[in-house]
Structure 1
Amino acid sequence: MSERYSDYQRLKFDRPSERVLRITMDNPGRLNSADSVMHGELVRVWRDIDTDPDISAVIICGAGEAFSSGGDLDLVEEMSKDFHTLTRVWKEARDLVYNLVNCSKPVVSAMDGPAVGAGLVAGLLADVSIASRNARIIDGHTRLGVAAGDHAAIVWPLLCGLAKAKYYLMMCEPVSGEEAERIGLISLVTEQEELHDRALEVAKKLAAGSPTAIRWTKYALNNWLRMAGPTFDTSLALEFMGFNGPDVQEGLKSLREKRKPDFDKDCPL
């Protein structure tokens, strides 16, 4: 594995096929929640991949039976109390979206179990998004007590339409893999046992294709997302403004109380 990936802690890397890099989000005991370390790594990894001459396609998945359970609640609590943490994570959230959108290599996501928060950014902004039938896609912002900004404001309306986007983002309702495919939120749905094989099959085809044609097709199509830049920046500001609002502490308390007894740590579901 290239030295450029050697200092990552929460992201694990392997090469399941020639010119294909697989990224596995791995935060044991927390359903791969994005703590401070993983959140920062999810920002910079797309720049490293963009400049890696040995990689033509990427897969992103989660370790075990979860894709990612979203922002780690310890990090969320710190954001609500410390201005410097809040502004750092705000910038990271912005850069995560733009770095992924602007990465020249095609990205395939393989979502299983909960897919929430920062992990879901990569799951839905991937060029080909694949989920198992039992995946639970949730935008958890309003349940926490902040606006559903971030990537959701730009990509959900484009993928599944404004009416569905409003319903799921405002209600914080989970979307199964099967329903996500039906409404156009994801590219493909598979059986759980076939998920990673299907993702690899797609990634191998992309890696074997014309890199120039695929790169510039992605660039052209992602102009729809770039055109929504002002909407994204406004939504992100509204979201992060909410971390200093009255509802976040209640949202944190509610989420901590609802954690499942077999979780080692909090899970924002």
Structure 2
Amino acid sequence: MQYGDFRHLGFDRRADGVLTVTLDRPEVMNATNARMHWELTQVWQVAGEDPTVKVIVVTGAGDRAFSAGGDLEWVQSLVGNPVATAEAMDEARDLVYNILNCKKPIVSAINGTAVGAGLAVALLADVSVIADEAKITDGHVRLGVAAGDHAPIIWPLLCGMAKAKYYLMTGEFMTGKEAERLGLVTFSLPREEVLGRALEIAGKLATGSQDAIRNTKMSLNNWMRMAGPIFDNALTLEMMGFLGPDAKEGLDAIRNKRKPDFPSAQ
């Protein structure tokens, strides 16, 4: 792929070798539809192979959200559909591993709400800067499926098992300030300072020894790679959930903004 092939990701090049990637569906709070989800699996290799790029900064378009999770129409296509869930599972696996395998540093500027695949990108970045009032949640259990994409591979490392279990099993939201306190993100700042700080960090990384920085990143990422079997298992369990009745109820509850009544809880 070339940069011009992406429909829902925008790109801005800086002279210092920093590439800003913007999730660009602001009319729906940058929710991931099928195309954007796939594009988020591809962009890391495209930027990674671009010799003019030293550091990647990823953010969301507009001032409301980084990414509000999966587009409900796309999620609907997964419920009860084994072919679609198998495809989504492959993409979810690629999204996580392609980020981990990208040698160039990634800095996330989390300018607002971050859920689902968007949160995966935000937290798997090497450095994360979030708005104080931004709200984040993994959100899978709210839909009635297991927390299966990025969470099992990274949350226990970032915030510890006790906090990871609580937030992943309850689906509670937390603010950027709380995320920083727990160690889920690197820095929490007023919203207007988030992108500037992310670009400042990226610029600093772009002037350092690229071999040393990249080799340090890839060495540290081996902690996540050791959790690969945990992630693969969780991802399978998540996709199995889309084939059951709880996901159907969870999706309807989200659509109608009501409390779900999961069949498995009756």
TM range (shorter): over 0.9
Residue in structure 1 matched with residue 44 of structure 2 by the alignment: 46
2-side partners of 1:114 and 1:60: how far apart?
Answer: 14
Paired letter, 2:199: L
What residue is the counterpart of 1:12 in the other structure?
10
What is the CA-CA distance between 1:84 and the residue it aligns to? 2.0
Q: Post-superposition shift, 1:16?
A: 3.7
Q: Mind listing any 5+ residue stretches in structure 1 that lack a counterpart? A: 260-269
TM-score (norm 1): 0.93
TM-score calculated relative to the size of structure 2: 0.94
Q: How well do the aligned residues superpose, as a CA RMSD in angstroms?
A: 1.1
- What corresponds to 1:194 in structure 2? 193
Task: For residue 29 of structure 1, give the secondary structure of its aligned residue in structure 2.
Answer: helix
Match of 1:149 in 2: 148
1:56 aligned residue (35, 54, 57):
54
Partners of 2:80 and 2:244 within 8 A in 1: no
Displacement of 1:95:
0.4
CA distance in 1, matches of 2:83, 2:43: 23
* In structure 1, C-alpha distance between the alignment counterparts of 2:257 and 2:232, rounded to whole Å: 31
Question: What's the counterpart of residue 25 of structure 1?
Answer: 23
Letter paired with 1:243:
F
Indicate if the aligned counterparts of 1:71 and 1:118 stay in contact, CA closer than 8 A: yes
Deviations 1:158-187 (A, max 9, x none): 000000000100111111110111110101
Alpha-carbon distance in structure 2 between the residues aligned to 1:215 and 1:142 = 35
**Deviation of the 1:137 alpha carbon:** 1.0
- Aligned residue in 1 for 2:83: 84
Identity of aligned residues (%): 54
CA distance in 2, matches of 1:251, 1:16: 43
User: Displacement of 1:17 after TM fit?
Assistant: 4.3
SS of match in other structure, 1:216: helix
Partner of 1:35: 33
- Supply the distance in 2 between the matched residues of 1:87 and 1:230 (Cα, whole angstroms): 18
**Post-superposition CA distance 1:75-103 (Å, at most 9, x none):** 11101133222111110000000000010
1:171 correspondence with 2:170: yes
| One-letter amino acid matched to 2:181 | R
Q: Mean Cα displacement is larger for which, 194-203 or 8-17? A: 8-17
Which runs of no fewer than 5 residues in structure 2 stay unpaired? Answer: 259-266
Aligned to 1:267: none
Q: 2:98 maps to which residue?
A: 99
Q: CA deviation at 1:191?
A: 0.8
Contact 2:29 2:67 in 1 (8 A): yes
